Structure 1
Amino acid sequence: MIRKIALAALAATAVFQVTVFIQYGTLWGGALASYQELLLVFVFLLATFWVHAPIARLFGADRLTGPPAPVKALVEGLCVVLVSLVFWLVFFTWPQHYLVPTAETSPQALRLSLAVSAVLSLFFYYFVEREHVRKNLEQEVVRVAQLQKETFQAQLEALKNQVDPHFLFNSLNVLGSLIHLDADRAVQFLGQLADVYRALLDSGAHPLVPLRTEMALVRAYASLMETRFGAALRVEWDVDQAWEQALVPPTTVQMLLENAIKHNGSTTRKPLRIKVSAADGLLVVENNRQPRTDVMPSTHLGLQNIQRRYHHLTDRPVEIVPTPEFFVVRLPLLTAPAA
C-alpha cells in the first residue's frame, strides 16, 4: 500500500509538472486550481494502481486458458482502458462539471484528457504492475526449484541412510537369525524391508504427499525397526483417519523416527517409546530421551532440511521442543493449494 501511494505521488507530480510546462512554459503552476488538479491526478493514479493489481493477477495467473494469446492480450488492454475511462469520469469530468459548473472545457480538451488518461493507465500497467507480477512469478519459480531441491535431498538422505552399510549389515544379520529361528518372521521381515524401499521410491519428486502415503512408509519402517529391536522399541500411533488427506513433505516423519532411534539407547527394561499423533492441524512425533552411551555425532541436517522445506511451503513453523525427558517435534499439516 505504501509503495502504491509513493508511486502515485511521484507519478502525479511528474505528470502535473509536464502538463504545466507544456501549457505555461514554466514548472510553477501558480494558481490554487492547478494544485487541485494535481490532487485529482494523484487520486486518479492511486485508484488506477489499486485496480491494476487484480487485473494483472487475473491475466497473469494462467486462469484464462480458453482464448488465444493475442485475444487474451487484447482483452487485457481493453480492461485497462475501460478502467481508465471510468476513473476519468469519476475524478475529472464529474468533479469539474459539478464543482465548477461555470468552467468551460472544449471537446478537444476533453478528448485529449481522456487519451492521456488511457495512455497513462496502459503505461503504468505494463511497465509497473506487470513488471511487478513478472518478478513475483520469477521468485515463485525460484522458490519451487529450491523446494524441489530440498525434497530431492531429503529423499536421497533417507535412501542413503537405508542402504548405509551398518543398516544393511544389521538388517541382514537379523534376517539371517530369523531364518533359523522363525521362517515366517523372516519372510515378514524381508517384506517389511522391501516395503520401506518401495515407499521411499514411490514418494517421487512431489513436494507434498498425503499423510496416508507418508504413514505407509513410516509404519513399514517402524515395523522393520520393531522386528529388529524387539521389546526395546515401542511405537504408538494416534492418527485419526480424518487427517489422512492432509499433506506433508515426503519422508519427514520417517526421518524423525530414524532420528529418534539413531540418538537414543534402548533396552527391554527401558524401551525407547515413540508416539506419532495428529491433532489441531499438527502431526506430533515425540520420544522419551535416553542418550546413547556410544554418542552418535549429530549434524542436525535432517531437522534443518525439514524446517527449510516447510519454510518454502507455509508460514507455519516446525516446532522443535527438547526437554530433559522428551524430544517433541510438531509438524504443520497442510492443505492442497487452491487450483
Structure 2
Amino acid sequence: MKAQRVEQLDDRWLRVGGVAFFVGLSIYTFKAYEHPFSLATLNLLIESVVNSAATWETDRWILRRFQRRYPALHQARKRLLLAIPLCWLCNVLIDWAVMWVVDVTGFRPPYPWAVYMQTITSGLVIAFLITGIQEALFYFSRLLQAEKEKEQLQKENLQTQLDSLKKQVNPHFLFNSLNTLSYLIGEDAERAEEFLDEMCKVYRYLLRNNENELTNLATELQFIRSYFHLLKTRYGDSLHLDLAIEPSYEQSLLPSLTLQLLVENAVKHNVIHKDYPLTVHISTQPNGLLMVRNNLQKKVQHVASNQVGLSNIASKFNLLKQPEIQVTQTDTEFRVTVPLIQPKP
C-alpha cells in the first residue's frame, strides 16, 4: 500500500530536549555530577549523547514509518502496537552495541552482565516514552491539519457556490436588456441605437464587477445609476429612482450586483405607467442596513421568473455567513433590507 504524505509539526526542539533529558538522566544515574570536569565524566557524556541520540532518532524513524502507512487518527492503537515492540528491540540492541564498544575499546570501565539485562526493562520504558511523546505530537499535528483542510474545503465550496450564483445573473440581465432593445427597435431606431451604446457600457462594467465576491456600496450605486439610465430609456417618467445614502456607509461592502437584482425585481413585478409611476427608493439606515423599497402596484398577469432575484440575494448573504435579508410587504409598499458588511481594517 502506498504511504500517504502527512504534514507534521517541526519537532527539532523536542528531539534536542529528549536527548538532553536522557543525557542528564545518565549523568544523574552514574553520579557524574560529583566530578563534573573529569575525563571520566567527559567520556560518559560522549557515550550518553551517542546512545541517547541513536535511540531517539531510531524510535522516531520507526514510528514515522508507521504514521505514514497508517495516518488516520483512529489508527493510533495499531501504530503503537506495531511500533513499540520494534522500538523496544532496537533500544536494547543499541544499548548492547554501545556497551560492547565501550567494553572492547576500554573507553570506560566495562559493564557487568547484569547491566546488559537491565537494558531489556529500560529499553521498554524508553520505547513507551519516546513513542508516546512522538505520537502525541503527531496526533496534535493531524488535528491541526484536519481543521485546516476542513476550513479550506469550506472556503472552496463557498467560492464554488458564489460563482454558480453569479453566473446566473449575467444571462438574466442580458435577456432583459435584449428584450428592451427589441422593443425599442420597433418603436424608435435612434433611441434603440442610444440604448445599445449604453447597454454595452453597462454590460462591460457588469462583467468586470461580477468577478468580485464583494463590492463597496459606492461602486454599486455608480452601476445602478448607469443601469437605471437604460430603464429610463424605456419607461421614461414612469420610473423614478430616489437615493438617500449616508456618505459614511459608501465604503461598506455587499455582494456584487445586489442592487441591480433588487431594482430589476421591482421593475419586473410592478405596473409602470405614466398614470401609475413606479419609484424605487434606496437608502441607508442608522443601524448599518440598506433598504430598497418601492410602491407596490403588482401586475395582474403572471410574470415569468427564473428564480434569480430575491433567492439569489438571500443565498449570497447566507453563504457569506451574514444576517438574513428582511423582506416586508404591505398593501402599498414592498421593502427589502440587507445588511451592509463592514470592511476589515
TM-score interval (norm. to shorter): 0.5 to 0.7
Q: Is 1:152 paired with 2:167? A: yes
Cα distance in 1 for partners of 2:13, 2:157 equals 29
What does residue 336 of structure 2 align with?
A: 329
Cα pair 1:248 1:333 within 8 Å, conserved: yes
Cα deviation 1:195-232 (Å, max 9, x = unaligned): 32222222142211222222222111112222321221
Alignment of structure 1 residues 133-152 onto 2, 5 Å: 133-152=148-167
The alpha-carbon deviation at position 263 of structure 1 amounts to 0.8
Q: Is 1:162 paired with 2:162? A: no
Residue type matched to 1:130 in 2? Q
Cα pair 1:284 1:330 within 8 Å, conserved: yes
What does residue 251 of structure 1 align with?
A: 257
Counterpart secondary structure, 1:292: coil
Q: Is 1:240 paired with 2:255? A: no
Cα deviation 1:99-148 (Å, max 9, x = unaligned): xxxxxxxx999977763552232131133332233233222212211112
Q: Structure 1 length normalisation: TM-score? A: 0.60
| 1:80–1:261 distance in 2 versus 1, CA, 3 Å | farther
Cα distance in 2 for partners of 1:327, 1:281 equals 20
Cα pair 1:265 1:290 within 8 Å, conserved: yes
Among candidates 118, 123, 144, match of residue 138 of structure 2: 123
| 1:246–1:109 distance in 2 versus 1, CA, 3 Å | same
Among candidates 223, 244, 252, match of residue 217 of structure 1: 223
Q: Higher mean Cα deviation, 125-134 or 279-288?
A: 125-134
What does residue 262 of structure 1 align with?
A: 268
What does residue 23 of structure 1 align with?
A: none
| 1:154–1:145 distance in 2 versus 1, CA, 3 Å | same
Cα pair 1:151 1:249 within 8 Å, conserved: no
Q: Structure 2 length normalisation: TM-score? A: 0.59
Among candidates 303, 310, 324, match of residue 303 of structure 1: 310
Cα distance in 1 for partners of 2:139, 2:131 equals 12
| 1:299–1:201 distance in 2 versus 1, CA, 3 Å | closer
| 1:159–1:80 distance in 2 versus 1, CA, 3 Å | farther
Cα deviation 1:278-336 (Å, max 9, x = unaligned): 22322211111101233323454321111111111123112111222111111222234
Whichever of the two has the greater Rg, that structure is 2
Cα distance in 1 for partners of 2:191, 2:158 equals 47
Residue type matched to 1:136 in 2? E
Q: Is 1:172 paired with 2:192? A: no
Counterpart secondary structure, 2:10: helix
What does residue 316 of structure 1 align with?
A: 323
The alpha-carbon deviation at position 240 of structure 1 amounts to 2.7
Question: CA RMSD of the aligned region, Å?
Answer: 3.3
Q: Where does the alignment leave 5 or more consecutive residues of structure 1 unmatched? A: 1-72, 86-106, 180-185
Equivalent residue pairs, number: 236
The alpha-carbon deviation at position 274 of structure 1 amounts to 0.6
Cα distance in 2 for partners of 1:250, 1:177 equals 32
Cα distance in 2 for partners of 1:310, 1:175 equals 41
